[in-house]
């Protein structure tokens, strides 16, 4: 592993997985299972193990975006991976794309997008949310996200650059949509997230008034399957609905 590289250290305790994300350095990682000398990881590779001073063995892995999703600090309920996946799939996001994201929150969506796209600019109206998101971005080792504090309803009128994808997860998405086409490349996509039918209808009306094409609104429900000695069935502990995704093309 290289100095400065992020690693996922995984161990088991009482049949439960315990995970820690750390950076290869000269520092120490203090855990309930002992101290790990992070410098010792420089001679290791993914799949190897490292042992704490208490003798606890940890496997070494490269962290992926689902790991950062689980370990990121929250400022509220983030967009779920199932909804993020729909945005990525239905817009064809790729490594050459520039993305504008509004409603940063904890930065989860921006981080997923930045793991694929060339560049992400993300706005949030709350400075404390931006501070939390910035820390999450730093912890994920992403250097292609620009975090800005501001009200996207006002800021979008003054943005002097164009994007391949614009994502909106704000209460005022309907007020932003009239200005979106001015900063979208021809053929670019708009993707919005809205938890309620009423907000979704307002978004659809705004999109229609702005003359977008190929408009679709989707609800992605998710059911985890529970396996037990009694039988196999959909889990009753998870809520399937989170929100509605609307995709439109300029």
Please say whether the beta carbons of 19 and 71 come within 8 A: yes
Q: Does residue 236 surpass a pLDDT of 90?
A: no
pLDDT at 65: 96
Q: Looking at the DSSP assignment, which residues form a beta bridge with residue 213?
A: 249
* Per-residue model confidence (pLDDT) at position 239: 64
CATH 3.40.50.150 domain position(s) in the chain:
67-249
Rounded Cα gap, residues 120 and 145, in angstroms = 5
The bridge status of strand 213-219 relative to strand 225-227 is: unpaired
Q: Are 90 and 191 in contact (CB under 8 A)?
A: yes
Residues 16-29 pLDDT 10s: 999 999 999 999 99
Both tokens of 133, joined, read: 């998101």
Give span(s): CATH 3.10.330.20, the chain: 6-61
Residue 76 confidence class, pLDDT cut points 50, 70, 90: confident
With a cut of 90, say whether residue 238 has pLDDT above it. Answer: no
159 touches 183 (CB < 8 A): yes
pTM of the model: 0.92
Q: Which CATH architecture has domain 6-61?
A: Roll (3.10)
Q: Which of 61-75, 114-128, 200-214, 229-243 has the lowest mean pLDDT?
A: 229-243
Q: At residue 109, does pLDDT exceed 90?
A: yes
Residue 118 has pLDDT above 70, yes or no: yes
Task: Give the pLDDT band (50/70/90) at residue 119.
Answer: very high
Q: Kind and range of the H or E element at 99?
A: strand 98-102
> What pLDDT score does 116 carry?
98
Superfamily of domain covering 67-249: Vaccinia Virus protein VP39 (3.40.50.150)
Kindly report the CA angle at 80 between 185 and 150, in degrees rounded to 5?
55
pLDDT at 174 over 90: yes
Percent of the chain surpassing pLDDT 70: 99
């Amino acid at each position: 592993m290289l100095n400065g590289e992020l690693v996922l250290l995984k161990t088991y305790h009482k049949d439960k997985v315990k995970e820690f994300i750390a950076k290869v350095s000269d520092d120490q990682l203090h855990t309930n299972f002992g101290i790990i000398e992070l410098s010792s990881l420089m001679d290791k590779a993914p799949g190897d193990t490292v042992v704490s001073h208490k003798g606890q063995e940890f496997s070494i892995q490269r962290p992926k975006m689902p790991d950062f999703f689980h370990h990121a600090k929250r400022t509220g309920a983030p967009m779920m991976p199932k909804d993020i996946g729909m945005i990525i799939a239905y817009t064809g996001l790729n490594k050459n794309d520039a993305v504008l994201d509004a409603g940063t929150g904890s930065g989860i969506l921006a981080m997923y997008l930045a793991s694929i796209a060339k560049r992400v600019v993300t706005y949030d109206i709350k400075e404390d949310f931006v501070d939390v998101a910035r820390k999450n971005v730093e912890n994920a080792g992403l250097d292609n996200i620009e975090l800005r504090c501001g009200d996207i309803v006002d800021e979008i009128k003054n943005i002097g650059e164009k994007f391949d994808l614009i994502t909106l997860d704000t209460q005022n998405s309907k007020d932003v949509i009239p200005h979106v086409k001015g900063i979208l490349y021809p053929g670019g996509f708009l993707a919005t997230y809205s938890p309620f039918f009423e907000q979704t209808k307002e978004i659809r009306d705004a999109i229609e008034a702005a003359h977008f094409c190929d408009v679709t609104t989707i609800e992605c429900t998710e059911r985890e399957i529970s396996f037990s000695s009694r039988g196999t069935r959909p889990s009753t502990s998870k809520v399937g609905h989170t929100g509605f995704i609307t995709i439109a093309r300029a």
